[in-house]
Structure 1
Amino acid sequence: MSAGSNGHNVGLAVLIDADNANPAIVEGLLAEVAKFGVASVKRIYGDWTTPALGKWKAALLEHSIQPIQQFAYTSGKNATDSAMIIDAMDLLYTGEFGGFCIVSSDSDFTRLASRLRESGKVVYGFGERKTPKPFVAACDRFIYTEIFTSNPETEEATIKRKSAQELRQDTKLCHQLRQAIEAASDDEGWANLGPVGSQLAKQMPEFDPRNYGYSKFSGLLEGIGLFTIKRENNQLLIKDQRPGKKA
């Protein structure tokens, strides 16, 4: 479904904004990154002289993430963002990486994501649901980190499975699903699940069935109840049920 999902040997640079990420997500984050390629570089940026980042220590040691020190020259975190952007460009110019994973909920990385993609690199963004839309849209794929918090102390801890009614009320989701099926369908209106997923990822970089409480794309499609699904030659095919669609 994702760009680069077949390139498991692709070298990836994982760059984490410590001010805008939670150490509770690290294990799930790195497991997700492993689906896209090999995390050849894992760096996390922040002012490590501040007590606020102390909670990261155990996670860094356990997962071999290299902390990069960046003093806050003035109030705010622009110095950290700048250091992360400069490092990303340095890594880009080495030509050794097929993709970049930017872990932050900060819109300051929007232009960086666009620039990396302009150079032919795949960009995976990871951030909370509050992440501004421009940054989400600038990535090939954007994964909301709430899905990684298995035992959290926050209200977003558990993503409950949405009912068919709730899914149908999500007009954006339904519209994007129908557009993706239309784009991938044959003359009879049937579309293979794989191409539909790929098309949907292009339309909605933030799409993930786990955001709706479903572990698989096929489960979400069955749950919404608006599409006909059949298995043929070990492939799942899907069709829009609406009257007037291709028959």
Structure 2
Amino acid sequence: MGRVMANGMQRRLAVLIDADNASTKSNDRLFEEIAKLGTATVRRAYGDFSKGQAKSWEPALITHAIVPQQQFANVPGKNATDFALVIDAMDLLHAGGLDAFCIVSSDSDFTRLATRIREHGLEVFGFGRADTAESFRRACREFVEIGTLVPKSAPKSVRAIPAKPAKTPPVEPTKSAPSSALKPIVAHAPVAEAERLILRALGETGAGGKWVAIATVISEVRKLDPAFKPQNYGSGLFSELVDRTSCLEGNQEDGRCTQIRMKPKKVSKPSTEAQPVVAGPTAS
């Protein structure tokens, strides 16, 4: 999903962070991903920054120019943070001037908020943990698991310490295990499952058997399944996944796939070979 919309304008985003719920381990990579979607014109974090999980967000508030929205837990068991985030989201929605919302939380309570924003015609992008409820994932235009955003670590400087050479007896080389034995076995979803999903997406475009831009199909697929990734089916690219299906084909331009469609059905031609003549019964 690019940061530029169909009209050529950059997507204007409101980034709303549930700091009581979201981790700060990958916040740098988080904002790199958000930057791919558009310009974060609104950046707010909600929580009780005097204690707990929200307190760990203090450095990120400064680094990424996030406006903190302090929420004290006046009554134990009542989630004032969620209420404040929802109220602000609705105010921003009706004020206009935005194209999409980024909700950073793993709380399924925001499912209805995401669907309400979507019903208003705006996109919703979710960011949360791997255990985030399926209801919130599917309410979003696209959902990104924060755990997959590995933080960039600075290379450690190692000072070389000269060591005195020591006499060691020669050691016979040991046979290394085959590389295939060291690779973890990853279970992939069947390609037929992806094929059915892509066929549904093509049906949503109303193109019939005509060529459709691959970006359009990917967009429709993610509307049906926000968690869709070609890697889930053992393919690095969407076009590679299409090539592995039985009833889809891609159109190559300049060495890359730009369009896909359903393979046209082969029409069997009638045989032109002369048929043997069967003689009828002869009169006796």
TM-score range, shorter chain: 0.7 to 0.9
Q: Please state if 1:200 is matched with 2:221.
A: yes
Higher helix fraction (1 or 2): 1
Tell me, what secondary structure is at the counterpart of 2:81? helix
Q: CA separation of 1:113/1:186 partners in 2, compared to 1, >3 Å: closer, same or farther? A: closer
Where does residue 197 of structure 2 map in the other structure? 176
Unpaired runs of 5+ residues, structure 2, are 154-182, 267-284
> Take 2:132 and 2:233, find their aligned partners in 1: how far apart are those partners?
18
Q: Please state if 1:79 is matched with 2:80.
A: yes
Aligned partner of 1:246 among 236, 257, 265:
265
Aligned-residue offset at 1:246: 3.4
Aligned-residue offset at 1:34: 2.0
The TM-score, its normalising length taken from structure 2, stands at: 0.68
When Rg is computed on C-alpha atoms for both structures, the one with the higher figure is 2
Unpaired runs of 5+ residues, structure 1, are 153-159
> Take 1:212 and 1:143, find their aligned partners in 2: how far apart are those partners?
17
Where does residue 41 of structure 2 map in the other structure? 40
Q: CA separation of 1:11/1:239 partners in 2, compared to 1, >3 Å: closer, same or farther? A: closer
Q: Please state if 1:134 is matched with 2:135.
A: yes
Q: CA separation of 1:130/1:246 partners in 2, compared to 1, >3 Å: closer, same or farther? A: farther
CA contact (8 A) 2:12 2:39 kept: yes
> Take 2:222 and 2:209, find their aligned partners in 1: how far apart are those partners?
23
Where does residue 96 of structure 1 map in the other structure? 97
Structure 1 residue identity aligned to 2:238: F
CA contact (8 A) 1:162 1:213 kept: no
| Residues 195-220 of structure 1, C-alpha deviations (whole Å, 9 max, x = no match) | 22021011112224466787643355
CA contact (8 A) 1:11 1:98 kept: yes
* Identity percentage of aligned residues: 40
**Mapping 1:152-191, distance limit 5 Å:** 166-168=188-190, 172-181=193-202, 191=212
| Residues 37-95 of structure 1, C-alpha deviations (whole Å, 9 max, x = no match) | 21001111111111433322222211111111101123346211001001111112221
Where does residue 31 of structure 1 map in the other structure? 32
Tell me, what secondary structure is at the counterpart of 1:24? coil
- The higher relative CO (CA closer than 8 Å, separation ≥ 6) is in 1
Aligned residue-pair number: 234
> Take 1:161 and 1:93, find their aligned partners in 2: how far apart are those partners?
49
The TM-score, its normalising length taken from structure 1, stands at: 0.77
Structure 2 residue identity aligned to 1:85: V
